[in-house]
Structure 1
Amino acid sequence: MLDTTQKRSLSQLPKATLVDFVSDVYGVDKLLDKKIERLLLQSDKPKLIKKLTSNLKGLRRRRKFLDYWEYSDFVTELHYLADDVMSLYPERPKACLDLLELFIDSTDSSLERVDDSYGEIGDLYRSLTSSWLKVAATCYQQEKQILPVDEQDILSHAWLEKVKAMADDNDYGTKDNLLAGIGQLFSEPEIRGLISDYQQEYEAILIKEADHKEATKGFKKRDYEVDYTISQEKSRIESALEEVAKALGDVELFEVIYREIHPKRPLHPRYLVDLIEFLMDAEAYDLALGHLTDEWQSDDLQYKLKRLELLNQIYEQQNDIEAQLKVLGEAFELQPSVRRLKAVMAIATPAQQAYWRKKSYELAAQQDEVVTAISLLLALGEVDFANKIAVKRHTEFTDLHYITLTQLLKELPAETDLLQVIIYRSLLDDILDNARTKAYGHAARYYKKLFQLDFLVSKMNRDYNDLITPQAYTRALIQKHGKKYSFWERVEN
């Protein structure tokens, strides 16, 4: 994409130069040709709308699966289409909305034609939903303005039904943001009416579920297809209720609805998190704290840490430094990390920092993972101590993944020469022991780096202690891998 300066320079070119350039590139690339054709249609909106309508209908009908090398071109084509559709807004909102709906109708077709592992196509369709809400809000307001007051309820009902139908057709999750954003489109009374509709549907599905269970009681074989259908419908309505209640922003109503959907007590932390995060977004911190202190029950480390993370966020908003330091310290003790240590030190007083430095030494010594122990010591500036721990536990480095080792190398200060020797030896041994011939170039670089490090170790008068000397390491390497000639050739070059 051109920057501002380049665009300014481009605008200063003679019109004929630009026309000649566009003429020259036309025919070079199919996607670019389509973009040029649509650009030419910008001055003729009816023709542009007709062209886009034809292209979007064709997009929905396509079925041929695309190979991975065609993915990028397809993404580009979709972006071009989206840009062209939105170019009609706000001048022609109704036409833009109709085209957006045609585009959104192609969701399933497009996602079934490609491997969207990168998520770019899913993201584009999610952005279409956001665009639809913006354009729909304009269209809805325009339609209301030309209707008598006594007919506006009929219009409102029609729009509510349209939104519900769109939200229900969401197999790939690209419309997850539709109900969450309906505040752009509907008034508070309309949203409350929509909630009421979903509540009625929910009561009906609960009755249907209870009746089915009663009818099949005592049967050895269940009708799993019916069970699945009821479960899916129930899940759909629950999700819709939650999203619409969030969009309304009524804390009390949301909590009532959430309790109806998740009646089991105590509520599992994975459900409590959703409730608490909504309360925090609504700045209902006292209610959120109540759930975090009175109701939260879990021995799972993951949820213990999540609870402390949420508490920290609340105390930070309330500017309660003392309470914040307490939960940050508790999280650090539960699962020590450099990130958590830095968070503690950032708000601690000098006296408190001294306490946490001492605590960090103790925790570093207790760590099962050598990388965590060393990272904590380095964060405290204890380079010599980190070197000693690394030497003492050097055998543990052979079990670490090369990505972990290479990432650690990037973060090490210069004085960690012994630690670097251990890491480079581990990387080198891994490549040669497993005969990773494609990585021999890296192995040769590691080998040469070891000579430089060994010189530094000697210069600093450090003792290898439990590590074998450079001379012994080199002899062992030659004895074990002396016949890996392609490696040694790279060492010589």
Structure 2
Amino acid sequence: MARKPVAKAEPAPKSARAPARKGARRTTPSVETLSALPPDRLIGLVLGETERNPAFKKIVSAALAALQGPDAVAAIVDRRLGALEGARGFIDWQKRRAFTADLNATVSVILNELRPLDPGAALDRLVRFLNGAAGVLGRVDDSLGITEGVYERAGEAAIEIAGSLPEAEATRFAARLLALVSGDPDGPLGMLFLDLIPRLPESALPALDADLGEALSDLPAETGDWRSARARGRLLRARQDIADRRGDVDAFIALEEAVAGAAADNLAVAERLLAAGRTDEALERIRRPQQRNANVLSGEALITGRIDTEAPARARTVLTIRILDALGRAEEAQALRWERFCDTLDAEMLRDYLAKLPDFEDDEALRHAFDRAMAFPQPYRALTFLINWPDLDRAGRLVLDRAKTWEGERYEVLAPAAERLEQARPEAAALLYRRLIDDILQRGRTQAYAHAARYLMQLDAIDPASASYRDILRRDHGRKHGFWSLVGGR
């Protein structure tokens, strides 16, 4: 009996097939996807946006003017700069966004349309734009610094363009800029001038230094004029930067003392003396009392707003040690490393100290260092040191020995310490987690309830007594429904 042929399934129509995963990417604007659109469709999109967006309209108009040459683009920019210079009206917060977008469009036109055609003309317009910063920012409600950011963008671009100019043009530009700095020493052009010095060719520095000397002699001698005093300080700093580039240490020192007087930056002076091989002078200088107590800001400090108050002292110690090593006074350098560690539990200082010890002496020294940490009067710093070294066993002992010390509000120390101690010393980790949870709930910090719920979950995994602790939380904080909804009442 002959078999019946098996019917083949008909392929599904294209409309019924699952869409290709790459289909979504075809709707993302890019060179490839936009080139698939008909030109008249693209033109329609551009025209529609010019009607809705005045700043975009200016950019499109400048792009069309660029087809006629740099003069046509420069004319557009000059009209806008003239309007800015003549305006007097106040820009409140409601109009600030559109006004800032217009400013940004002006800078974009200079950079994207004029610069490719004539870099010198673009640089001239940027300088003119920056020179009007005080007048514009003085009439804008810019509490968030958004409008000021446009001027920062323009300043960075001006530095880049000026640094790429031929040597003769860059030198002439610096000299021309100098005349504007004296009138507004704290404005964008003052910063632009200082930032330009490292980019100038070496051969341009002597002439610029002479110009700076003449500009300083032209300033009024009266110290009561704050603007003249600020201009003098700015010009002296510029000469100091030139001296630094030329390796003239004595000129650098003289200018530092001329600017700061008794508050001269001895650290900066000592660094340059050391680099010049004048180590005895460097040691004498770094050991002078420092009247200026400026804090050195790290990137983290700038982001978090927390200032590292110990940074200046540490920088002085590190440089003093470098000088002592250069002088061959190794024992004094080692004593200073140990002193710094004992005072602050500076881990890097301890590592350097141990690395300089003779063989077989580091174990004993490390034991003394850990003893110092366990007895350190600032427990949070001691815990941070032991966690990060790491010595988790001692860190756990420290937590338990000072059990009444820990406060949950110091979560930036306790939370990472608890996580690190979960495996090595679970009883210590449990104590820290309870402190963290208690603090959040007692203060009613609703924004941190999610953290408290996570801490409780981690506590359940390491603490056999967590059920009893949960009962205490129910009794004392049972009405904090936002927290209990996150832990599910487990």
* Common topology (TM > 0.5): yes
The corresponding residue for 1:464 is none
- Unpaired segments ≥5 residues, structure 2: 1-27, 294-309
Give the Å deviation of 1:407.
5.1
The corresponding residue for 2:235 is 240
1:490 to 473, 477, 486: 486
Give the Å deviation of 1:161.
5.8
| Letter in structure 1 aligned against 2:31 | L
Larger radius of gyration: 2
Give the Å deviation of 1:389.
0.8
Q: Are the counterparts in 1 of residues 127 and 158 from structure 2 also a CA contact under 8 Å?
A: no
Note if 1:271 corresponds to 2:265.
yes
Percentage identity across paired residues of the two chains: 17
Note if 1:124 corresponds to 2:153.
yes
1:141–1:129 Cα change, 3 Å: closer
Secondary structure of 1:89's aligned partner: helix
Aligned-partner Cα distance in 1 for 2:416–2:65 = 52
Aligned-partner Cα distance in 2 for 1:475–1:271 = 60
Aligned-partner Cα distance in 1 for 2:137–2:125 = 19
1:90–1:375 Cα change, 3 Å: same
Aligned-partner Cα distance in 1 for 2:322–2:349 = 14
2:66 to 31, 42, 67: 42
Matches within 5 A, 1:354-393: 354-393=363-402
The corresponding residue for 1:150 is none
1:181 to 196, 202, 215: 196
| Letter in structure 2 aligned against 1:259 | E
Give the Å deviation of 1:364.
0.9
The corresponding residue for 2:180 is 165
C-alpha RMSD of the superposition: 4.3
Secondary structure of 2:288's aligned partner: coil
Note if 1:52 corresponds to 2:77.
yes
Q: Are the counterparts in 1 of residues 256 and 265 from structure 2 also a CA contact under 8 Å?
A: no
1:252–1:356 Cα change, 3 Å: same
| Letter in structure 1 aligned against 2:228 | E
Note if 1:293 corresponds to 2:284.
yes
Aligned-partner Cα distance in 2 for 1:323–1:122 = 50
| Letter in structure 1 aligned against 2:475 | Q
Aligned-partner Cα distance in 1 for 2:161–2:119 = 10
Aligned-partner Cα distance in 2 for 1:484–1:247 = 64
Aligned-partner Cα distance in 2 for 1:31–1:344 = 60
Give the Å deviation of 1:294.
4.6
Matches within 5 A, 1:95-174: 95-112=121-138, 113=140, 114-117=142-145, 120-121=149-150, 123-131=152-160, 133-134=162-163, 138=166, 141=169, 160=175, 162-172=177-187
| Letter in structure 2 aligned against 1:297 | R
Secondary structure of 1:394's aligned partner: coil
Which region of structure 1 is more displaced relative to structure 2, 98-107 or 122-131? 122-131
Give the Å deviation of 1:387.
0.9
1:454–1:38 Cα change, 3 Å: farther
Aligned-partner Cα distance in 2 for 1:439–1:259 = 51
The corresponding residue for 1:197 is 214
Give the Å deviation of 1:197.
1.8
The corresponding residue for 1:477 is 473
| Letter in structure 2 aligned against 1:38 | A
Q: Residues 267-316 of structure 1: CA distance to partner in whole angstroms, max 9, x if unpaired?
A: x4x62234345x27xx7343466234355234986644221233456789
Higher relative contact order (CA 8 A, sep 6+): 1
Residue correspondences, number: 431
2:109 to 84, 94, 102: 84
- Unpaired segments ≥5 residues, structure 1: 1-6, 145-155, 210-226, 456-468
Aligned-partner Cα distance in 2 for 1:82–1:407 = 46
1:437–1:193 Cα change, 3 Å: closer
Aligned-partner Cα distance in 1 for 2:329–2:102 = 51
